[in-house]
Structure 1
Amino acid sequence: MTDYDLIVLGAGPAGVNAALAASAAGLRVALFDENRAAGGQVYRAPAFAGTTDDSAERQAGDALREALAKSRVSAFLGHQVWAVTADFQVDAVGPQGSLSCTSRALVVASGTTERVVPFEGWTTPGVIGLAAATILLKSQKVLPGKTTLVAGCGPLLAAVAAGTLKAGGELRGIVDVAGFGDWLRALPAMLARPDILRQGLAWAWAIRRSRTPLYARHTLVRVIPEGERLRAELAPCDRAGRALPGERKQVLVDCVAVGHGLTPATEITRLLHARHRYSRKAGGWVAITDDCGRTSRERLYVVGDAAGIAGAAAAAEHGTLAGLACARELGAAAGSLDPALGQAQRRHARAARFGHAMARLMALREGHVQGIAADTIICRCEDVTRGEIDAACDAGARDVNQLKAWTRCGMGPCQGRTCGDVAAELLATRLDVPREAVGIFSARTPLRPMTVGALTGAFVYADIPIPKAAPL
């Protein structure tokens, strides 16, 4: 077992910058990520060497990976962390087998999980998340489909749409739950980041030039297989995301890419019993932290979108801020870090202003969830429907962990990361109580599905130690 001053979990922009800042301040740092290359979702590395990409995101990702390679950080990429204990022991499985490390402090940069509000046909093959479409376009250089419909809410709609067009795909429409007024209200915050605003305008121009239909203030209500293709049904909706009566539009495509925002990944901070709060604007449940990402647990930090949705630019600055704060807390060049901390705080506040405006566009809308039909599957892993959730509530379930025990909702391989947000919203709506009152699923080890073979490695019967028989 190896000891470090700091272990960082997650190699996106927040995690890498936290590791680099702490390492530069003199700490021994280990960085873990299940992907084979650093960068996270936004700066995801291409799957194949020699792939050309002149985008700003690719350049930023390459710079991040180069800085990590030149640093003294011990990077354990391609390692899946499956357990974290209260004394900051991290257990992981990688290409060479099991690995355990301990540290004096821990930074959690676990990112987010994509939210998809269920609708009829959302589990149909060919319906994928916006995040999955992003991976196909950025990393695999593969089109989601020859013809694609992009639906949901938030800036990822434009990113996937523009990426699809750039890759030579045909875009049949963009379905946005938000209206033009919602985007106009976010404009002042966008002006704080002219670089990102320019990128957004470039996406908008590419979409406009393609003459792609834009269905503002519309929601996707149904996807039906039609031969080898999909027929998507769209409906107008109100500001709360509730489908309204009116003309239903039909769009025939090969692929539907849909996403309704992001939820912070809090499995580790919940497992370590840090205090949490619910914030719809921040994406859901988040750990309670100070400006530097310090939680209620001593020497436990959470940074980036795992601490509340604010975007990649804010995540990078938040990571630097937490890395410096952690280094000061552990006694590494304490006095000399104060100027750098102040600069990082100002940069983070500026970047977060833009990110929070985007997060508001992606916030879960109450009416959107209320419109889910009774026979629609909520938990894909266990095939639990909205009707079963309502029945459990009527039978006496008063929080999400009771709901889990009675229906198995959240017991599958994803452990509630996909269904938890929507299931809790349904339960709170049925009970007519605040969202906080129904709680959140308990976090448990293993943090990710693991095979027994991955933990034990190769062995034969003769390798099993058998104690000598006790004397009679």
Structure 2
Amino acid sequence: MSGDYDVAIVGAGPAGGNAALAAAQHGLRVLLLDEQPAAGGQVWRAKSSAILAAPATEESTAGTSLRNRLAQSSVTHLSGARVWQMSQDDGWKLEVLQGGSSETYTAKKLVLATGAREYVQPVPGWTTPGVIGLAGATALFKQNLRAPGQRTVVCGTGPLVFYVASEIRRLGGTVAAVITPNARMDWACATPALLHRPALLARGALWVADLKLAGVPIYWQHAVTGVDGDTEVTAVEFAPLSHDWTPEASRVVIRADSLCLGNGLIPQIEAAQMLGVPLTHDAHLGGWVPRAAPDGVTDVAGLYLCGDGAGIRGAEAAVHQGTLTGLRIAADMGFDTSTARDSSRALWARAARFGRAMTALSIPRAGLARLSKDDTVVCRCEGITKAGITQEITHGAGSCNAVKSGLRAGMGPCGGKFCQTAVAQIICTETGQDVAQVAPPTARPPLCPVPLDAAAGAFDYHALPIPKPAPL
């Protein structure tokens, strides 16, 4: 065994990092694991070491603070570590890939703070080089201080579309247009929640004002319908949408060399699903979410969830839920944390209300699936088109598991992370089922690609008991 701990935490973003700090403050031995080279997650991603100096932003300041507090704590932080298998016996056992080899760690308690990933609705040409997700663009900004191209179209839902467009301009790029399926009325409905966070409201207003003053056109209730170009983006096609986000017949084409495209965030649920946590569907939390209490407690003994992996509520809510989860674990291990937990729970509830309102702006409407055409690639890993999936459904495949079994959709390197939401939408369209009736496919280990030699471990091949050939 490589190490035995009181608490193992998977994910070092705002939720996981603060859960680690809260638990460690009570003398618990805490192991914090994350794939990134530094703590902070996606939202507080650290700058590349090649960046010698950069203006501070709210995200970079928060990330630096978290990394400094972790460095000064007793938390054991393993960066560049990919957890590919977890199991429960007498406690938890984690198989971790780091530096090309797999190590085993054990812990009494396990916290999953796996965060979120973005959803991109497949459209014709979305696999063209030069197309990048909105969340992927933010990672490029924060880590490398680079814009995705010289002339970029930015399309997506919620506040992220305006943040990305503003950052492109700040980094010296040109924004050809901002396109969002949201109507102005959608934002008006979100105003009551925004009023509870005046600082964020002001920040968003500055993003929009900057775009307006720069003459960047903003197309409300529109969506990208296609991308032109073979080996690179040359133009982007978009259209107005009806109330249910069905694209109308008229089309507009705008010249661009890059496209940032996104349709909201969805929780990373595979680890929790694999470990037996029941799933529920809540569109206001990003779709399918594992069932967990605000303090992280689940139906699986010794397993806790926090942050966006337990429902999309935003970075501030993740901070408070991480702290609350760490305090709950300390309480479960004999420490009195009731007063601190009451305070964290109140802060989490306030932040969560705002987060749900922002997530509501990205809830897919029925017409969104119509942006994909028959020849549109849906599963990029396996090159499977919408027509192939539709045909499989007509042959009787009424679930994500059935489509996966018949076509291998979701069996590539990404494990279905980039296609299963679109597959579920197609199933709903073809069968008339509600999205809450189409469960995600069964999660199985390994949770990420792992080299066979690392999974097999160290052994002497020549020591294998190979029987002699049978006599002729």
Query: Do they fold alike, i.e. is TM over 0.5?
Result: yes
**Residue 75 of structure 1 aligns with which residue?**
77
* Alignment partner of 2:290 out of 284, 287, 292: 287
1:417-457 alpha-carbon deviations (Å, 9 max, x no partner): 10011101211221112223332111111111122344468
**Residue 275 of structure 1 aligns with which residue?**
278
Contact 1:31 1:73 in 2 (8 A): yes
Per the alignment, do residues 168 and 28 of structure 1 end up closer, same or farther by CA in structure 2, a change over 3 Å counting?
Answer: same
CA distance, structure 1, for counterparts of residue 68 and residue 201 of structure 2: 26
User: What is the percent sequence identity of the aligned residues?
Assistant: 38
Q: Does 1:222 find its partner at 2:223?
A: no
CA distance, structure 2, for counterparts of residue 29 and residue 462 of structure 1: 34
CA distance, structure 1, for counterparts of residue 65 and residue 100 of structure 2: 27
The SS at the match of 1:409 is coil
**How much does 1:293 deviate?**
1.9
1:250-279 alpha-carbon deviations (Å, 9 max, x no partner): 111110010000110001101101111111
* Worse-matched range after superposition: 151-160 or 164-173: 151-160
Per the alignment, do residues 92 and 171 of structure 1 end up closer, same or farther by CA in structure 2, a change over 3 Å counting?
Answer: same
**Residue 347 of structure 2 aligns with which residue?**
347
CA distance, structure 2, for counterparts of residue 464 and residue 193 of structure 1: 65
**Residue 314 of structure 2 aligns with which residue?**
311
After TM superposition, list the pairs within 5 Å mapping 1:68-217 onto structure 2.
68-87=70-89, 88-95=92-99, 97-217=101-221
1:210-230 alpha-carbon deviations (Å, 9 max, x no partner): 111100000100111178542
Per the alignment, do residues 228 and 416 of structure 1 end up closer, same or farther by CA in structure 2, a change over 3 Å counting?
Answer: closer
Per the alignment, do residues 232 and 463 of structure 1 end up closer, same or farther by CA in structure 2, a change over 3 Å counting?
Answer: same
The SS at the match of 1:221 is strand
**How much does 1:466 deviate?**
4.1
Structure 1 letter corresponding to 2:305: V
Contact 2:247 2:370 in 1 (8 A): no
Per the alignment, do residues 387 and 467 of structure 1 end up closer, same or farther by CA in structure 2, a change over 3 Å counting?
Answer: closer
**Residue 463 of structure 2 aligns with which residue?**
465
CA distance, structure 2, for counterparts of residue 462 and residue 119 of structure 1: 50
Contact 1:192 1:353 in 2 (8 A): no
The SS at the match of 1:161 is helix
Structure 1 letter corresponding to 2:308: D
**Residue 32 of structure 1 aligns with which residue?**
33
Contact 2:128 2:230 in 1 (8 A): no
Contact 2:152 2:174 in 1 (8 A): yes
CA distance, structure 2, for counterparts of residue 56 and residue 204 of structure 1: 18
**Residue 42 of structure 2 aligns with which residue?**
41
RMSD: 1.8
The SS at the match of 1:445 is coil
Q: Does 1:325 find its partner at 2:328?
A: yes
Structure 2 letter corresponding to 1:311: G
**Residue 442 of structure 1 aligns with which residue?**
442
CA distance, structure 2, for counterparts of residue 453 and residue 462 of structure 1: 12
Q: Does 1:378 find its partner at 2:378?
A: yes
The SS at the match of 2:381 is coil
* Alignment partner of 1:250 out of 249, 253, 275: 253
Gaps of at least 5 residues in structure 2 are none
Structure 1 letter corresponding to 2:219: Y
CA distance, structure 2, for counterparts of residue 345 and residue 360 of structure 1: 22
After TM superposition, list the pairs within 5 Å mapping 1:2-41 onto structure 2.
2-41=3-42
Contact 1:390 1:430 in 2 (8 A): yes
**How much does 1:285 deviate?**
0.8
CA distance, structure 2, for counterparts of residue 73 and residue 254 of structure 1: 44
* Worse-matched range after superposition: 91-100 or 282-291: 91-100
CA distance, structure 2, for counterparts of residue 378 and residue 242 of structure 1: 18
Contact 2:281 2:289 in 1 (8 A): yes
The SS at the match of 1:281 is helix
CA distance, structure 1, for counterparts of residue 245 and residue 460 of structure 2: 61
**How much does 1:411 deviate?**
0.8
The SS at the match of 1:157 is helix
1:157-215 alpha-carbon deviations (Å, 9 max, x no partner): 11111110000100100000001111111111111112222222222222222111100
TM-score normalized by the length of structure 1: 0.94
Contact 1:83 1:90 in 2 (8 A): yes
Per the alignment, do residues 436 and 227 of structure 1 end up closer, same or farther by CA in structure 2, a change over 3 Å counting?
Answer: closer
Structure 1 letter corresponding to 2:35: E
**How much does 1:330 deviate?**
2.0
The SS at the match of 1:85 is strand
TM-score normalized by the length of structure 2: 0.94
Contact 2:131 2:233 in 1 (8 A): no
After the TM superposition, list the runs of 4 or more consecutive aligned residues in structure 1 that deviate by more than 6 angstroms.
none
Per the alignment, do residues 462 and 350 of structure 1 end up closer, same or farther by CA in structure 2, a change over 3 Å counting?
Answer: closer
CA distance, structure 2, for counterparts of residue 92 and residue 75 of structure 1: 13
Contact 2:120 2:262 in 1 (8 A): yes
CA distance, structure 1, for counterparts of residue 462 and residue 172 of structure 2: 56
Q: Does 1:66 find its partner at 2:64?
A: no
CA distance, structure 1, for counterparts of residue 38 and residue 189 of structure 2: 37
Contact 2:7 2:29 in 1 (8 A): yes
CA distance, structure 2, for counterparts of residue 98 and residue 172 of structure 1: 46
CA distance, structure 2, for counterparts of residue 377 and residue 468 of structure 1: 46
Per the alignment, do residues 183 and 3 of structure 1 end up closer, same or farther by CA in structure 2, a change over 3 Å counting?
Answer: same
